[in-house]
Amino acid sequence: MPKYPPVTKFTDNVTNTLVEVANSRGITADALDFDLLSYETYYEGTVDEEWQLLKGNDLLSETTEIEIRSSTFLLRQEYEIRIHPSKPRPYLNLRFNLATDKYKSKIVALIDPKSEIPLKKGVQEWIKEAIWNKQLRHGFMIGLYDQNLDKEITRLLMKIQKEGPLTAPYRLPVGEFFPPVPPIDDKVILHYKNLKKQNNFIDGVKPGDLLLEYIFPKNGRDGRGCDGHHIAVLEPLSRHAGLIMVDDETITTEQDDDSIRFYARISGYVQRLEGVFSISQELHIESASLRDTGSIEAGIDKEISLKVKKNEANEDSIGIGVNIDVQKLNVSGTVGAHAKIQACELHIGAQTHKKTNIHVTKKANIHLHRGNLKAKEADIEILETGRVEADIVRVKKMVGGEIVARIIEVDTLYSNGRLTALESIEIQTIEGDGNNLIIDPRAIEAYQENLEAIELEIRTRTSRLQQQSKEFIAKEISFKDKNNRIKHFQERIKDAVRSGKSPMRADIVRLQQYRTEFENLKQEEERLSDENERLQRLKEELDTLYEADLHAVITHHGTYNGHTRVVFIDPKTSQEYILTPQRKATHIRLRREGDEKQLLLES
């Protein structure tokens, strides 16, 4: 290729000038390179009648950000460049590309790890020159927005010095001018949808929960690109203004400059009827199934009452696998297999499947129960092979199954029932065989937890009291050893007083320390005594719990037929006292006779 002498040009578009020179020489623009000799920045503001020369590189020193972002503001640069044939730079082989955001308001240099960047004097200036030259080739301005470029190049060189040559692409921030701020379109956020569980039928909420939010539309801000061009932003869209209507009695609102927020006044579930959002506490549905409603899990902490109205013999009111979690539940029909119910109050008008699980924190009322029920109180018309665990259980007819409760009342007991109580079992009539009537305090969860808590506290307090007593005895022995010495100091003080002299200060201090130590020991002795009394009260409380079997009673208003097994279990020793009565025995109790316990039958 012929050699051409360098040529100096003044231009406001480096790329076009390189192309013109290349065309005049019959070569491509890539065969040419240039050196930047100088550049000047000019601007024309709203009140300017002609272009103004910027002194330095800080536009904000001569105008404002508002004006720079405006469409009337004009900006340009003029460059003096020396154009010469392209040739590789010794030592430095910087391979990189420039990347920008879609507005061209931010620029990043993406450096290839294959670049050769020697840690030699002047390398920082070479890198900056290479970046500026590529910016000019791409039509970007220089000097106005890259104030941190030197710092970023230094960070790159320090990384290479510390870690060695690059092993992965490196992002070197070049700078940003005035990025536009996009407008905010108005929108509605349904926060209550995020509160519910997946596939849940209703949206349960508590007082104070954020339900809805209307975001006001907000204007954006125009920007200025790194190429000097103005960046216009669109007006925000307003599509939902005035469309949210709420029931003021159940939903309250708060407003600031950004949004209107809608909060729950009461607990319940969110519903929208005729375009109005409200919170309801009663829900009536025909049936609940995984296909039609999914699970209904609002939570028992929310005041929601659910009524399931369907009552058909061949179809479940609550279908297979459905989970229900509400405060009050009234089911007219049947509860299917693998259904899980949690409520404060429950009424089931038909029956439960043997594979249902029900937990009720207050009272459950069930017509025919075959599944598993745990409640505070349970009234059951017919218990058939199901299990009930509660504080108080009342059953009209029991056909098999199991009851574990503090107090159990059964009108008619048929066959193969297992009744375990803490305080009492009362049965009007027994009409079958193979029943077990058991007084077993430890089978009652609340009793067992209370017992274990007291036993643990006794062990803890006993261990601590033993350790503290040892420490007290050691202090007491040490104090008694000081008794003879302190008498000597007391005599010296008396002698000094009798002779009209002031006692030695050291003697007075020792006597005061002795009295303080005496008071501390006295207080500690009283505290240990209080601790010991507390420990004794706990042991007495434990002994009372251990005697729970002696305070329990089994009552039957009919006559035993010899096929009912009666068992009392000692909670302390686990010894069983078993009887199979075959006569009239209205009350059966366990009584202590000397060191032994015996079953007592009363007619």
Looking at residue 360, what is its pLDDT?
Answer: 94
Residue boundaries of the structural domains of the chain:
1-87, 187-278, 279-446, 452-546, 552-602
User: For residue range 72-83, what is the model confidence (pLDDT) as tens digits?
Assistant: 999 999 999 999
- And the tokens for 457? 């506290």
CA angle 163, 164, 167 (to 5 degrees): 90
Buried residues in 397-411 as b, exposed as e (16+ CB within 10 A): bbbbbbbbbbbbbbe
Looking at residue 199, what is its pLDDT?
Answer: 58
383-397: average pLDDT: 96
Q: How confident is the model at residue 593 (pLDDT cuts 50, 70, 90)?
A: confident
- And the tokens for 419? 């009744």
User: For residue range 272-330, what is the model confidence (pLDDT) as tens digits?
Assistant: 888 899 998 887 878 787 877 777 777 777 777 888 887 777 788 888 988 888 889 99
- And the tokens for 537? 């009260």
- And the tokens for 276? 């109005």
CA distance 41 to 61: 13
Looking at residue 110, what is its pLDDT?
Answer: 97
pLDDT of 517 strictly over 90: no
575-586: average pLDDT: 94
Neighbouring CB atoms inside 10 A of 318's CB total 29
Of 80-84, 221-225, 408-412, 503-507, the least confident: 503-507
CA distance 454 to 537: 11
Q: Pick from 461, 440, 459: which is nearest to 572 by CA?
A: 440
- How is residue 93 annotated by DSSP? B
Q: What is the mean pLDDT of the chain?
A: 90
Prediction pTM value: 0.63
CA distance 395 to 413: 9
User: For residue range 547-556, what is the model confidence (pLDDT) as tens digits?
Assistant: 999 999 999 9
Q: How confident is the model at residue 358 (pLDDT cuts 50, 70, 90)?
A: very high
Neighbouring CB atoms inside 10 A of 115's CB total 17
- And the tokens for 595? 């060191």
